[in-house]
Amino acid sequence: MLRARRVPRKVVANRSSDGRTRTPVTSPESLTFRSDVTVELVKSSASDADVLFAARVSTAGEQSLDELKKDPERSKGLINYLMRDRHGSPFEHNSMTFFISAPIFVFREFMRHRVGWSYNEESGRYRELEPVFYVPGADRKLVQEGRPGKYVFVEGTPAQHEAVSGALRESYEQSYTAYQKMLADGVAREVARAALPVGLYSSMYATCNARSLMHFLGLRTQHELAKVPSFPQREIEMVGEKMEAEWAKLMPLTYAAFNANGRVAP
């Protein structure tokens, strides 16, 4: 089951002139606006020893885990060698499950990652979607400069921030009111949700292994050590950075080797 994160909501019921018809109107203060993303490591079975265990099975068999404790330097060297020469499969024998809450447009990009990932997302058919919406924070660069394929993002002016925030909030309020009205009119959730925008937050469990996570991080984060630069959208990068921090704690040798070898997945 996906965790239901309910937020208090105030839907105002309007009485029409005949005193009978009720049209739900979402009051502005009942919407929740967020600029951040949530990433929690909810379950894991992942360590550097899993990599060594898989890599050494052909020679050391069941002894491989003992080897790790005996000679940590050799273990570090082996992980680095596997990363450098792109022997990828030993990095698959582990598992990490993340709970992620982020705007739908992030999930749309996220789920393009097909290999080594499992997803379960909250349903807009089986539950009423909560009015939680994304508004870029003050530190989100707003202006794109340069030609396609070679552009940079620069700070927005205070006026631009105000314009974005005002337009998004107004649009979210309208769309959520339309959603609520359809539900009040007896329309099915799966139909009414068509009114909702991609700035709405969703939540999911995403399970991966170190190899598939490295591939994701190589594409969805910008990093000074990256041999092949990528230019991800900032909001999916925010998710990637939080996942990376969790993974680094679980598999420090693998993480160090990933960085030392240009952040290219093996």
Ligand X SMILES: Cc1cc2nc3c(=O)[nH]c(=O)nc-3n(C[C@H](O)[C@H](O)[C@H](O)COP(=O)(O)OP(=O)(O)OC[C@H]3O[C@@H](n4cnc5c(N)ncnc54)[C@H](O)[C@@H]3O)c2cc1C
Asked if 39 and 246 count as a contact pair (C-beta separation under 8 A), the reply is yes
Residue 114 in the binding site for ligand X (CB under 6 A): yes
Question: Catalytic residue at 220?
Answer: yes
Closest residue to ligand X in the complex (CB): 114
Which of the following is catalytic: 15, 189, 220, 234? Answer: 220
125 annotated as a binding-site residue: yes
215 annotated as a binding-site residue: yes
As measured in angstroms, the least distance from the Cβ of 151 to ligand X is 12
- Residues near 33 by beta carbon (within 8 Å), at least 6 away in sequence: 132, 133, 134, 135, 169, 172
127 annotated as a binding-site residue: no
Chain length of the chain: 266
Name the amino acid, one letter, at 187: V
Could you say which of 232, 234, 256, 262 contacts ligand X (CB under 6 A)?
A: 232
Stretch that binds ligand X, among 14-22, 94-102, 106-114, 244-252 (CB under 6 A): 106-114
Cα-Cα-Cα-Cα torsion 188, 198, 212, 95, nearest 10 degrees, comes to -50
Cα-Cα-Cα-Cα torsion 198, 202, 206, 211, nearest 10 degrees, comes to 30
As measured in angstroms, the least distance from the Cβ of 218 to ligand X is 9
* Burial environment of residue 153 by CB neighbours within 10 A (0 to 12, 13 to 18, 19 or more): middle
Stretch that binds ligand X, among 50-58, 85-93, 152-160, 212-220 (CB under 6 A): 212-220
Q: Vertex 26, ends 21 and 27: CA angle to 5°?
A: 120
CA–CA dist 180, 176 (Å, integer): 6
115-144: contacts with ligand X (CB under 6 A)? 115
Give the three-state DSSP class for 22. Answer: strand
User: How many residues interact with ligand X (rule CB under 6 A)?
Assistant: 10
Could you say which of 9, 87, 113, 189 contacts ligand X (CB under 6 A)?
A: 113
Residue 219 in the binding site for ligand X (CB under 6 A): yes
Tokens representing 141 are 């660069």
Residue 113 C-beta-side C-alpha neighbours within 13 Å: 24
Determine the straight-line distance between the first and last CA of the chain, rounded to whole angstroms: 33
Residue 215 in the binding site for ligand X (CB under 6 A): yes
Could you say which of 3, 43, 120, 231 contacts ligand X (CB under 6 A)?
A: 231
Stretch that binds ligand X, among 2-10, 81-89, 107-115, 122-130 (CB under 6 A): 107-115
As measured in angstroms, the least distance from the Cβ of 226 to ligand X is 12
Asked if 239 and 102 count as a contact pair (C-beta separation under 8 A), the reply is yes
Binding residues, by number, are 89, 109-114, 121-125, 193, 209-211, 215, 220
Residues with active-site annotation:
220
* Contacts with ligand X, residue ranges (CB under 6 A): 112-115, 215, 219-220, 230-232
Binding residues for dUMP, by number, are 109-112, 121-125, 193, 220
